[in-house]
């Protein structure tokens, strides 16, 4: 009986406050602009992954997600496997006493603790966990930055899930992607009162995939060029300053404006891409009314490539923000989503 080598890890979901939208290289997932996200606490939304390899496994690499076999032949998964195997081979070449793991078939088993189809950035946590689990299995000396470079090739936003807290992804300029990596802006402990409530408006799979949507936007939107070259670079700086200064008013305003800018660019794509629906727009109105009642910004919405709302707020405003959404969820069917899910987030 051959040995089975095994390692496990978890990776969290991240929700962007400055959105990644557009690729300058679709093969390497090199973006047309930098982005910035907040990593959710592992107790809320995360992927748990075990990677193993053994000569006793059938020849093919395999991946099980929530018990269902997945296709691993796609270019993105293959790129991650290839890069990690190459690093392991280098180690094995330099130390003949190491077991020859790079040549063995891989078996990956992943579980999400949230509905995969809910449109909640599952590919980010998924690829981040896959890459780190294999790196641990291979005992690679790679840093989170090195692993972010590999995870990016699986899914762009995955590079940000290699770090906790407040995380940037530098777009970089090198054509090989060597400088397109994630970096930590601040650990979660820097601003521990940050909270999020996630309203699952629809658990249906998104209509237009991010990859297809981005390519069509880059090709057709007239708003896209100024967003990528002027708006986002300015907001990246404003957002990093707001986080350093724990300035929620600026954090919230920039978050909402960048979500609006991203969805405006989607609408400006031809044919247009609609990710928000009537319930999403109602959520925006609720946040506006919360802020109007407070006389300042205490709640900030953001939407990814789907209708679900993520609302950021500080713990001290829990009652005014999450409390109101809870009341609405209890009273209005429209807030419950198709399956009544509502997920509250913490940051740790």
- Which x/- pattern over 99-138 shows residues binding ligand 2P0 (rule: CB under 6 A)? ------------------------x---------------
Polymer length in residues for the chain:
348
Query: 50, 210, 217, 221: which one contacts ligand 2P0 (CB under 6 A)?
Result: 210
Smallest gap from residue 37 Cβ to ligand 2P0 (A) = 6
Q: Are 155 and 29 in contact (CB under 8 A)?
A: yes
Smallest gap from residue 105 Cβ to ligand 2P0 (A) = 25
Give the distance from CA 303 to its chain's centroid.
Answer: 12
Query: 11, 12, 13, 16: which one contacts ligand 2P0 (CB under 6 A)?
Result: 16
Is there binding between residue 156 and ligand 2P0 (CB under 6 A)?
yes
Is there binding between residue 317 and ligand 2P0 (CB under 6 A)?
no
Is there binding between residue 309 and ligand 2P0 (CB under 6 A)?
no
Q: Which residue is nearest to ligand 2P0 (CB)?
A: 156
Query: 137, 298, 305, 311: which one contacts ligand 2P0 (CB under 6 A)?
Result: 305
**Cα separation values, 95 from 20, 90, 106, 136, Å:** 40, 9, 21, 17
- CB-nearer residue toward ligand 2P0: 174 or 294: 174
Neighbours of 272 (CB within 10 A): 12
Q: Are 199 and 248 in contact (CB under 8 A)?
A: no
Q: Are 139 and 84 in contact (CB under 8 A)?
A: no
Smallest gap from residue 81 Cβ to ligand 2P0 (A) = 16
339: DSSP letter: T
Q: At what angle do helices 232-244 and 248-267 cross, to 10 degrees?
A: 160
Is there binding between residue 9 and ligand 2P0 (CB under 6 A)?
no
Distance CA 204, CA 306 (A): 9
How many binding residues for ligand 2P0 (CB under 6 A)?
Answer: 14
Distance CA 115, CA 292 (A): 33
- CB-nearer residue toward ligand 2P0: 120 or 329: 120
Q: Are 46 and 196 in contact (CB under 8 A)?
A: no
Rule CB under 6 A: which residues touch ligand 2P0?
16, 19-21, 29, 35, 123, 155-157, 210-211, 304-305
């Amino acid at each position: 009986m051959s040995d089975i080598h095994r390692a496990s890890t978890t990776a969290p979901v991240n929700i962007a406050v400055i959105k990644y939208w557009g690729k300058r290289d679709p093969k390497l997932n090199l973006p047309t602009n930098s982005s910035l996200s907040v990593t959710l606490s592992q107790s809320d939304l995360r992927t748990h992954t075990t990677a193993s390899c053994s000569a006793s496994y059938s020849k093919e690499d395999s991946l099980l997600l929530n018990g269902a076999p997945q296709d691993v032949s796609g270019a993105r998964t293959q790129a991650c496997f290839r890069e990690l195997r190459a690093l392991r081979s280098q180690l094995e070449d330099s130390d003949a006493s190491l077991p020859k793991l790079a040549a063995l078939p891989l078996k990956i088993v992943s579980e999400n603790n949230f509905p995969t189809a809910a449109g909640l950035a599952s590919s980010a946590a998924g690829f981040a966990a896959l890459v780190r689990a294999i790196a641990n299995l291979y005992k690679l000396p790679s840093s989170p930055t090195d692993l972010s470079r590999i995870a990016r090739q699986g899914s762009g936003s995955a590079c940000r899930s290699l770090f906790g807290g407040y995380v940037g992804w530098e777009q970089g300029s090198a054509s090989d992607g060597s400088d397109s990596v994630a970096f930590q802006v601040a650990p979660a402990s820097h601003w521990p009162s940050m909270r999020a409530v996630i309203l699952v408006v629809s658990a249906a799979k998104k209509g237009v995939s991010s990859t297809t949507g981005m390519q069509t936007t880059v090709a057709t939107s007239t708003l896209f060029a100024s967003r990528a070259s002027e708006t986002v670079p300015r907001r990246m700086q404003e957002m990093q300053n707001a986080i350093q200064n724990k300035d929620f008013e600026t954090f919230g305003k920039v978050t909402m404006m960048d979500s609006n800018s991203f969805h405006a660019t989607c609408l400006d794509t031809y044919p247009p891409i609609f990710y928000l629906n009537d319930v999403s727009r109602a959520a925006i109105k609720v946040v506006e009314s919360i802020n109007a009642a407070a006389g300042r910004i205490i709640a900030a919405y953001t939407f990814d490539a789907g209708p679900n709302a993520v609302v950021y707020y500080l713990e001290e405003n829990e009652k005014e923000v999450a409390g109101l959404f809870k009341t609405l969820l209890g009273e209005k069917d429209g807030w419950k989503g198709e399956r009544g899910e509502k997920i509250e987030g913490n940051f740790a």
